[in-house]
Amino acid sequence: MVVEKNVPLQPWNTFGIAARAQQLVRIRSVSDLLAVVNDSALAPLPKFVLGGGSNIVLTGDVKPVVLKIEIKGLRLVEETARACIVEAGAGEAWHDCVLWTLAHGFPGLENLALIPGTAGASPVQNIGAYGVELQDRFESLDAVDLWTGQSFTLDAAQCGFGYRDSVFKHAPATPPDDGEGLPRSMGLAGRAVITHVRFRLPKPWKPVLGYLDLERRRLEAGIEQPDARQICDWVCEIRRSKLPDPAVVGNAGSFFKNPTVTPDQCADIIAREPRIVHYPMPDGSIKLAAGWLIDACGWKGKTIGKAGVYERQALVLVNRGQGAESVTGGEVMTLAKAIQTSVYERFGIRLEPEPVVV
């Protein structure tokens, strides 16, 4: 096992923030993880799991030991009359997983095309786009408990998926006290390292076209029954037209979650702001478009220091600097707080950041 010291993290976070890891270990297999767990110097130290770095804001050098997950591999593990189960190593790039499944004739992930990040990070925030969330295509995952070195498997219910949420985003409540070592509390952040993820791709395949932008593309193209590759292409085109490419302009995707309100609260806001974009949810709550709220407060295209609000989608904060002159995590959070304050003052709604602030 090689412990790298003082490692620049700028190439490994999509915001392009300049920060360093005091110690970093590359994890290419489960045995690499066990070597960390069994190392007397590393074992007691806090850990930070780094996937594609596409959902983090680094506010300084990272003191916990960074575990950079590079476990590879894509394979079909099972095919039944009702589904194909595909397994990905946690370090596979997410979009490569989508393309691999389509190329091998296992459709189902196409609405999630072009999302930055890794397969291992996909359950952490339950990635979602264009009418599909990871939980709709999730079978199970394997992880290693850093406190005990034990491997374990979780199904969807055990992952506690919510909107951009799972057990992997919450801190563990208590150390294991039962001597058996299996995680007992709900939170697994910094404790469990996902090594493999399995996706359930239902048969027969059915397109998911309900999202307005996708339906518009379908009508424009005049295609009655698009196949999964066609939908993948449309999703890529829509994303490229709305969202900045992190390779060109640093960003972490949507910076805030879309907030939910009660129907009463929504009626109250509509009375004041008739044009507000809102969607009724199956549980009776109403989801509001955070991008619209931020846009309505005049933030689109604005900049504070080197942190900016993207011109084409107000929900995305971007790095207006580059290289050594890149934005700092502090600047990003200052802008985020200013946005939260103005949205709260105008609409009485508290926006919750989506990326993990490190």
CA distances from 25 to 39, 104, 279 (A): 12, 33, 43
Q: How far is CA 337 from the centre of its chain?
A: 21
Does the annotation mark 241 as catalytic? no
342 catalytic? Reply is: no
CB 186 within 8 A of CB 168: no
* Burial group, residue 175, by CB count within 10 angstroms (0-12, 13-18, 19+): exposed
Q: Which is nearer to ligand EPU, 144 or 347 (CB)?
A: 347
In angstroms, the Cα distances linking 187 to 136, 159, 205, 332 are 21, 10, 34, 27
Question: Which of residues 42 and 161 has its CB atom nearest to ligand EPU in the complex?
Answer: 161
298-357: contacts with ligand EPU (CB under 6 A): 300, 313-315, 354
**250 binding ligand EPU? (CB under 6 A):** no
Q: Residues 12, 48, 130, 199: which binds ligand EPU (CB under 6 A)?
A: 130
Closest to ligand EPU by CB, 298 vs 348, is: 298
Q: Is 214 in the site for ligand EPU (CB under 6 A)?
A: no
232 contributes a contact to ligand EPU by CB under 6 A: no
Write down the least CB distance from residue 289 to ligand EPU, Å.
Answer: 3
354 is catalytic: yes
Cα–Cα dist 253/232, whole Å = 18
Span near ligand EPU by CB under 6 A; candidates 166-174, 215-223, 226-234, 290-298: 290-298
CB of 279 to ligand EPU, least distance (A): 9
Tell me the one-letter amino acid at 238: I
Pair of tokens at residue 160: 């506690």
CB of 167: closest distance to ligand EPU in angstroms?
Answer: 19
Residue 142 engages ligand EPU in binding (rule: CB under 6 A): no
CB atoms within 10 A of CB 281: 11
> Segment contacting ligand EPU (CB under 6 A): 189-197, 264-272, 285-293, 337-345?
285-293
Catalytic residue among 122, 140, 254, 326: 254
- Minimum distance from CB of 292 to ligand EPU (Å)? 4
Q: Can you state the angle between helices 212-221 and 228-242, rounded to 10 degrees? A: 120
Applying CB under 6 A, what is the total number of residues that bind ligand EPU?
A: 18
**Which residues have a catalytic role annotated?**
164, 254, 354
Which residues in this chain contact ligand EPU in the complex, by CB under 6 A? 129-130, 242-243, 253-254, 257-258, 277, 289, 291-292, 295, 300, 313-315, 354
